[in-house]
Amino acid sequence: MTRNRLVEDLFVALRFFSRLPVPARNGEDMPFGAPPLARIAYAIPLAGAAISLFGAAVLLLASALGFPPFLAACLSIATLVLATGAFHEDGLADTADGFGGGRDRDRRLEIMRDSRIGTYGACALALSLLIRVASLEALLVLGGPVRAVLALVAAGAASRAAGIVLLQVLPPARADGASAGAGQPGADAAMACALMAALVVAVLLVPSFGVSATFAGLIAPALAGFAMARLSARLIGGQTGDGGDCLPAGGAYVREGRLRHPPPRLSGPRRPEERR
């Protein structure tokens, strides 16, 4: 693989998964069409990590300015939503509405094509944002800004890899859907995507979080993807692309951060053994 090939595939992935003004490269016939997932799968975790850098920068800036952790986490997640054009949130809402409101396969697929947000979609969006903000706030409080940023960027890589693997293990639920147009990635492409995500996560997290917490961070999106695959197969007989959305795996590091950085005592005299 050449450096030019990596740059080209990374540009395609960034253009598809974000609203960043990524210019078209020479030789691209349809730069803003469905990407060739089988070709660019390995670059998708890198694109996810790169997109997360925008949220990470806002998180660091807000923390440096003395913003409360909750506000800093909210601004960071809002930045990520803006950077992606709510791409994943749209898929999550469509999936929740279809799975929750449809009585059979055809009705679920029909609802998932409807751009309007229903009760299930609204609840899923609210819970998703709350969980992401709460996880990021906990990482800020218990581990500090640097650890929170590392986990945020790693989650951007791991969560998107889980979505690509889901597209590989299930066939498209409808022949005219967006996922069918993009092409189903093969087993080799999905494996390359998963290995790249594991490499990014390991490089970012092992030095600060240790091996056990990093392993938990890899297992979390894998389990989420497995559960989503089982549910999609049972309810719609495949995948539509919307179901590839996964919650970032930030909460897996909260317990490890708490063990290594217990909250300080806020008031009161220290016990005799604490003064030694």
* Interval 11-22: pLDDT, tens: 989 988 888 888
Residues whose CB is less than 8 angstroms from the CB of residue 237 and which lie 6 or more positions away in sequence, other chains included: 105, 173
pLDDT of 31 strictly over 60: yes
> Where is mean pLDDT largest: 28-37, 69-78, 95-104, 157-166?
69-78
| Buried residues in 172-208 as b, exposed as e (16+ CB within 10 A) | bbbeebebbebbbbeeebbebbbebbbebbbebbeeb
pLDDT for 271 equals 40
Is 53 within 8 Å of 59 (Cβ atoms)? Answer: no
What pLDDT was estimated at residue 144? 94
What is the pLDDT at residue 86? 87
Region 169-198: mean pLDDT is 78
Q: What is the pTM of this model?
A: 0.82
pLDDT in tens, 41-77: 999 999 999 999 999 999 999 999 999 999 999 999 9
Instruction: Supply the angle between the helices 187-209 and 211-235 in degrees, to the nearest 10.
Output: 150
pLDDT band at 193 (very low <50, low <70, confident <90, very high): very high
Q: Lowest mean pLDDT of 133-142, 143-152, 258-267, name the range.
A: 258-267
For residue 103, is pLDDT > 80?
yes
Res 274 pLDDT > 60:
no
Amino acid making up residue 127: L
Give the residue among 225, 209, 82, 206 at the shortest CA–CA distance from 158.
Answer: 225
Instruction: Tell me how far apart the alpha carbons of residues 212 and 206 are, in angstroms, rounded to a whole number.
Output: 9
What is the pLDDT, as a whole number, of residue 242? 63
Between 10 and 254, the higher pLDDT residue:
10
Section 116-134 average pLDDT: 91
pLDDT for res 205: 94
Return d(Cα 212, Cα 46) in angstroms, integer.
Answer: 23
pLDDT, one tens digit per residue, over 222-247 is: 888 888 888 888 988 888 766 554 33
Give the mean model confidence (pLDDT) for residues 148-175: 86
Supply the pLDDT for residue 268. Answer: 42
Residue 247 vs residue 78, higher pLDDT: 78
Q: For 102-106, what is the mean pLDDT?
A: 88
pLDDT band for 259, please (50, 70, 90 cuts).
very low
User: Which DSSP string do the residues of the chain spell out, in sequence order?
Assistant: --HHHHHHHHHHHHHHHS---PPPPTT-S-TTS---HHHHGGGHHHHHHHHHHHHHHHHHHHHHTT--HHHHHHHHHHHHHHHHTTHHHHHHHHHHHHHHH-SSHHHHHHHHH--S--HHHHHHHHHHHHHHHHHHHHHHHHH-HHHHHHHHHHHHHHHHHHHHHHHHHS-BSSTTSHHHHH----HHHHHHHHHHHHHHHHHHHHHHH-HHHHHHHHHHHHHHHHHHHHHHHHHTSSB-SGGG------GGGHHHHHHHSPPPP-SSPPPGGGG-
Q: What is the pLDDT of residue 47?
A: 95
